[in-house]
Structure 1
Amino acid sequence: MNSQFYDRLSNNLTQLLESGVNCDGSIEVGEEDVSLINIYKVHSIILQSRSSYFKKKFDEITFNENYIKVLKLPNISVKEFNIIIKYIYSGKFSLEKLENSFLFDFLIASNELELDELTEHLQSHLVNNNSSWLRLNFAQVYRTSYQVKNFKIIQDFCNNIIAKYPNTIFESENFHSLPEDALVSILKQDDLQLEESKIWEYVIEWGKAKNLMLPTDLDKWTSDNFLSLKEALKGCLPYVRFFSFSNEDVVEKIYPYQQLLGHQLFSDITIKFIAPTKPISSIVLPPRKILKTTLPTRITPIPLSSNIITNEHALEISSWIDRKEIPYIENNPYEFKLLVRGSRDGFDITTIYQICDKVSKTIIILKVKGTGEILGGYNPLEWENNNDRCKKTENSFTFSLKTANMKNSILSRVIVSSYAVYNYPSELDLSFSTNLYLIGNLKTEKRCYCGKNTVYLKPIRSSEFVSASWQPDEKSLFSVEEYEVFKISLRK
C-alpha cells in the first residue's frame, strides 16, 4: 500500500518559494516602460522540472556575478505570474473570482510557458463552464486558437460551432485571412452543414485572396494562373467532397476549374457524372452528414417582446452595436426592453418623443406596409421632446433586416457624425438624416422614405425604393404596418 502526502509536500514547497532560501534564479515579470516589473526569486531546478520552457531558458542563461540566472518575461502580466509561480511550486491554484477575459489571457500565458497540464485544464474549464463567453467572443477565441499551439480543446469547440453554423466563419470579414490549417480543419468535418458546391466556392474564394494578381475574368486565365491557385489550395483540395456535387454543379462549378484537379481525379468525376456505377480509382470521400431539419439559431431564450423581430434579429443588432466582426450566435449580451409599440401606443411621432424623452441607446424597428421590409435605426444618444436639433454621434446606424424575401441584412453606419440623428419633435420629424426619414403619423400618412445621402454609408432599401433627393417620389414613400422602440441595456 502506497501512502501519499501531497498536501504537506505542496505546503512545504510553497514555504520554500516564500522564504527565498537558496534561490539561484530571478524572474523579471512585466514591461519596463510601464514601471510594473515584479522580481521573483526562484529555484531554477524546480521550474526546469515543471516546464520544458524554463528548462530550455535556464540552460541557455549563464550565472551573473552574484551566481543568479536572470530571466525576463515582458509578455506575462504580474497578476498572471503570481498564479503561475504558486502553481509551479504547489500544484494548486484557484479560478474563483477571475473574469473570463483574464482566464483566456491566463491560458495564453500558461501555454507560452509550456505548462501543458495547466493549459489543458484551463481549456476544459472554459469550454465546460464558460462556453457562453467563448461564443460571445468567438472571433477572438477562434483566431487565437490557431495562432498559438496546443489549443486543441478550444479548436474543437469552435469547429463544432462552425460545423452547425458555417456562415459564422465563411461569411465573416476575416475569412480570407483564415490560416490554412484552420480552413483544412473545417473541411475535414463530416457534419459541416453546407452544400459541397458552396464549400467549393468558398475554397476558391479563399485561394484567390492569396493570389491578388489573378485576372478577374476566368476566360483570361493562363496555365500559370491555375497553377498558382492550385499551389495555394494544395492543402485544401484533398478534403473537398467532389463526388457529392450534383451533375449541374459539376458542369457549372468544377469544370471551369478542372486544371486545379489532377487528370485522374477530373476523369473519375466525369465518369461518375456519365456512368455512376462504373468503378473508379480516385478516393471517394463520404458525403457530409447534412441534417434534414434546419438547425435553430443558437440562442439562450431572452424575454424579447416583439411582433416584428426574432431573437436572431436581436443577436444581429447586438453584434452591430458592439461592432463584432462575427455576429453573436447565442447568449445576447443585451436586453431589449420594449418602450413603444404602434398598435398599443399609437403611430404618431409625437408618441415616440413623449415616451422616449431623455432615453438613450434605443432601437426603432419598422415593418413597411406592402413590402414586409423590416427597417430600423440605432440612436446611442437621448431623444429630447422639448428640443429641436441635429445630434452628433459616430455610433448610430441604420439597417434593413433579412426576411423571407431578403437573403441578407443591410447595415449602414454613420460616416458624417454631425448630422447623424435628426431630433425635431416640433416638426414631427425623427430621422437618421435621410437614410431613414420618419415623419407624422407612421401608419395613416405615407410620408416616410429612405433617400440617398452622404451621411450614412449606403442606402438600406433597394435602389427602386430609394429617393434621390429631399423631395421623394411616390414610389419611395411608405407607411408602416407596425413599429416598435426598444431600450438597449446590458443584461445583468
Structure 2
Amino acid sequence: MTTKFFDRLSNDLTQLLENGVNFDVTIEIGEAPNSQIFKVHSYILQSRCPYFKKKFNEIPFNDDHVKVLKMSDISVKLFNIIIKYIYGGIISLEKLENSIIFDLLIASNELELDELVEYLQTHLVNNNSSWLRLNFSRIYQTSYQVKNFKIIQNFCNDIIVKHPNTIFESENFLTLPEDALISIIKQDDLQLDEGTVWEYVIQWGKAKNTTLPTNIEEWTSENFVTLKQILKQCLPHVRYFSFSHEDVLDKLFPYQQILEPKLWFDINTKFMTPNRSISSIILPPRKILTKALPSRNTAFPSKIITDEHALEISSWIDKKEIPFTENNPYKFELLVKGSRDGFDIKTIYEICHKVSNTVIILKVEGTGEILGGYNPLEWDKNNNKWKKTQDSFAFSLKTENLKNSILSRVNDGVSESSQIGYHLGESWFSFSYTLVLMNNLKTSKNCYCRIDKDYREPIRSAELLSSIHKPPSSDKSTFNVEECEIFKVSKKNDLRPY
C-alpha cells in the first residue's frame, strides 16, 4: 500500500515560493509602476507548466545565474493565483468574481495549464451557469477564439440548439468565428427548420464581404463565386433535402450558383421525383421537438433582464427559498417600455392605472446596475397616498459586476409601515425610500435609493445611497436610467383580464 503525503508536500513547496530561497528566475508581472517581481524556481515551473518549459529554454542566464522574464499581459492578481497553483496545487475561488474566474481561465489556457483549464471550466458550468448565460455572447465568442474550452463550448451549444435565437438574433452573430457557426449547424437537434438555417448561413457569409451588392438581382457570377468561397466549409453541413418545397424555390433557388451543379441537380430531382435515387449525401433531418421549447427571447419581451432573472423574480413573488430554474409559473406581460412609451412618471401612471401585480425593471445609466421592485397593489393616479403591503419587495439583480442579486423585503419589525408611495401630483412613485422614482427617469436625474426602515436591506452599495430625502440631481446618489420596463405578472393558469 502506498501512502501519499500531498498536504505536507503542497505546504512545503508553497513556503519555498514565499521565501524565494535559491530562486533562479525573476518574473516581472504587469506594467510599471504597479508591476511586481516574483522570485521563482525554473525546475518547478518547467516541470509543472509547458509554457514556462519552452520559455525558459529560450532565455539565457544572466551574470547572476538568474533568468529574467517580463509578462505584462497578465495581472498581478491572476498570476498570484496561478503561481500558488503551480507550486502548491491549490486554488480557492470562493471570493473571486465570476469575471475574474473567467479571466483566470483564459490566462491558464495561455500558460497551457490543462488541468486548471478543465477545472475552471467545470466550476463555471456547474456553479455559475447563470453568469455564463448572462454574458452568453462574450463567453461563446471567447470559447472559440481562445480554443480548448470544450466544456464551455458544449454548455453553450446545448443552450443554442434549444434556443437558437440566443446566438442567431444576437448583435454578435455576424462576427461569429467560422468554426463556431459550423459547430452549431452540425447539431442534429438544432431547433430550426432548414430554410431558416440556410438564411442565417447566407446572412453570415454576406457579412464577411461588404462589397457584395445588397440586391441579389445585381449580383455577377464573380459575386456568387466569392460567397461560395466564404461558405465552402459551412455548405456541406446544410441539410438540403430537408428543405420544404417552398423554401427550395424561395430561399435556395436564388443562390443556386454557390452549390455544386450535381448537388443542385439532385435537389431538383428529389423535389420533382422524391422516390428516385441520387448520388449526393443526404444528411438526416434535424430532430425538431414536437413540443416547442420556451424561447429565451420571447418568454418575456425584455431588453434588460434574462429568463433566469425572471425565474428569480418569480420565486421571490412566491416566497420560495430556492429559486425556480425552469418552467416559470408566471407570465410577464410588457406594459411600459421607456424607449417606446416615454420615461416620464406621469406617463407610467396613465398606462398602469388600476393595474396590480407589476414588476418594475430599471437599467441604471453608467453603472450597468439592474434595479427594480414588485408592487402587488394597484397603481393609482387619482390618489396621492402611501399604501401598506407585506408582499412588495425591491431588488438589485445580479450582473457581471454583481455576483448575487440583492432582495429587500418588507421589514416585519416596523408596525407603522408604508411600503408603496403614489404621488402623481409631485410626479413620483416609490418603494418607501429604498427605491424612489421621480420626474423623467431618463433625463431629470432625480431617482435615488437610501437606507429605509420599511425594507430590510439597501439595494445599492453604501457610497451610492442618499443620506437625505430628495437629494439634488448633482448628488452622486441620484441616477438616470438607460431603459425602464414595467410588466404585469400573472400566474400562467390564472390569466384573468386586469
The yes-or-no answer on 1:28 pairing with 2:28 is: yes
The yes-or-no answer on 1:65 pairing with 2:63 is: yes
Could you tell me which residue of structure 1 aligns to residue 363 of structure 2?
321
Q: Distance in 1 between matches of 2:437 and 2:234?
A: 45
Q: Is the 8 A contact 1:26 1:68 kept in 2?
A: yes
Superposition TM-score, scaled by structure 1 size: 0.68
| Percent of paired sites with the same residue | 55
Q: Is the 8 A contact 1:268 1:282 kept in 2?
A: yes
Q: Is the 8 A contact 1:30 1:77 kept in 2?
A: yes
Q: Is the 8 A contact 2:436 2:447 kept in 1?
A: no
Could you tell me which residue of structure 1 aligns to residue 457 of structure 2?
none
* Aligned mate of 2:127, from 121, 126, 129: 129
Q: Distance in 2 between matches of 1:335 and 1:242?
A: 48
Q: Distance in 2 between matches of 1:380 and 1:148?
A: 44
Could you tell me which residue of structure 2 aligns to residue 223 of structure 1?
221
Change (3 A) 1:98 1:312: farther
Could you tell me which residue of structure 2 aligns to residue 294 of structure 1?
292
Could you tell me which residue of structure 2 aligns to residue 77 of structure 1?
75
Superposed CA offset, 1:68-100 (max 9, x none): 111111111111111111111111122222221
The yes-or-no answer on 1:17 pairing with 2:17 is: yes
Match of 1:321, SS?
strand
Superposed displacement of residue 312, structure 1: 7.8
Superposed displacement of residue 102, structure 1: 1.3
Could you tell me which residue of structure 2 aligns to residue 6 of structure 1?
6
Superposed displacement of residue 362, structure 1: 5.2
Could you tell me which residue of structure 2 aligns to residue 240 of structure 1?
238
Change (3 A) 1:162 1:333: farther
Q: Is the 8 A contact 1:362 1:379 kept in 2?
A: no
Superposed displacement of residue 333, structure 1: 6.0
Match of 1:117, SS?
helix
Residue type of the alignment partner of 1:250: V
Match of 1:54, SS?
helix
Q: Distance in 2 between matches of 1:322 and 1:137?
A: 18
Change (3 A) 1:23 1:110: same
Q: Is the 8 A contact 2:361 2:371 kept in 1?
A: no
Residue type of the alignment partner of 2:446: E
Change (3 A) 1:280 1:53: same
Could you tell me which residue of structure 1 aligns to residue 394 of structure 2?
none
Residue type of the alignment partner of 2:94: E
Which moves more between the two structures, 206-215 or 140-149?
140-149
Q: Is the 8 A contact 2:427 2:438 kept in 1?
A: no
Could you tell me which residue of structure 2 aligns to residue 213 of structure 1?
211
Superposed displacement of residue 162, structure 1: 1.3
Could you tell me which residue of structure 2 aligns to residue 470 of structure 1?
none
Superposed displacement of residue 112, structure 1: 1.3
Superposed CA offset, 1:319-340 (max 9, x none): 983799xxxxxxx965432286
- Counterparts of 1:282-361 in structure 2, within 5 Å, are 282-296=280-294, 297=299, 298-299=307-308, 300-303=311-314, 310-311=331-332, 321=363, 334-338=371-375, 341-342=378-379, 346=382, 351=424, 353=426, 356=429
Superposed displacement of residue 277, structure 1: 1.4
Change (3 A) 1:322 1:292: farther
Q: Distance in 2 between matches of 1:395 and 1:7?
A: 52
Superposed displacement of residue 341, structure 1: 3.3
- Counterparts of 1:125-274 in structure 2, within 5 Å, are 125-274=123-272
Q: Is the 8 A contact 1:339 1:355 kept in 2?
A: no
Could you tell me which residue of structure 2 aligns to residue 382 of structure 1?
446
Q: Is the 8 A contact 2:361 2:373 kept in 1?
A: no
**Over the residues paired in the alignment, what is the CA RMSD in angstroms?**
3.8
Q: Distance in 2 between matches of 1:187 and 1:322?
A: 37
Q: Distance in 2 between matches of 1:363 and 1:280?
A: 69
Q: Is the 8 A contact 1:24 1:67 kept in 2?
A: yes
Q: Distance in 2 between matches of 1:246 and 1:335?
A: 46
Change (3 A) 1:323 1:143: farther
Superposed displacement of residue 106, structure 1: 1.1
Could you tell me which residue of structure 2 aligns to residue 56 of structure 1?
54
Change (3 A) 1:255 1:310: same
Which moves more between the two structures, 179-188 or 139-148?
139-148
Q: Is the 8 A contact 1:170 1:202 kept in 2?
A: yes
Q: Is the 8 A contact 1:363 1:378 kept in 2?
A: no
Q: Distance in 2 between matches of 1:89 and 1:171?
A: 45
Q: Is the 8 A contact 2:24 2:66 kept in 1?
A: yes
Residue type of the alignment partner of 2:2: N
Match of 1:356, SS?
strand
Q: Distance in 2 between matches of 1:206 and 1:254?
A: 15
Match of 2:37, SS?
strand
Q: Is the 8 A contact 1:380 1:396 kept in 2?
A: no
Q: Is the 8 A contact 2:49 2:112 kept in 1?
A: yes
Change (3 A) 1:347 1:51: same
Change (3 A) 1:73 1:383: closer
Q: Distance in 2 between matches of 1:98 and 1:398?
A: 31
Change (3 A) 1:82 1:178: same
Q: Which runs of 5+ in 2 are unaligned?
A: 300-306, 318-329, 339-359, 385-421, 449-468, 488-496
- Counterparts of 1:99-118 in structure 2, within 5 Å, are 99-118=97-116
Match of 2:158, SS?
helix
Residue type of the alignment partner of 1:65: D
Match of 2:313, SS?
coil
Q: Which runs of 5+ in 1 are unaligned?
A: 325-331, 365-375, 402-480, 483-492
Change (3 A) 1:288 1:62: same
Change (3 A) 1:347 1:235: farther
Q: Distance in 2 between matches of 1:363 and 1:197?
A: 49
Change (3 A) 1:275 1:48: same
Size of the aligned set, in residue pairs, is 378
Q: Is the 8 A contact 1:361 1:378 kept in 2?
A: no
Residue type of the alignment partner of 2:86: I
Q: Is the 8 A contact 2:438 2:446 kept in 1?
A: no
Q: Distance in 2 between matches of 1:161 and 1:175?
A: 15
Q: Is the 8 A contact 1:360 1:382 kept in 2?
A: no
Match of 2:63, SS?
coil
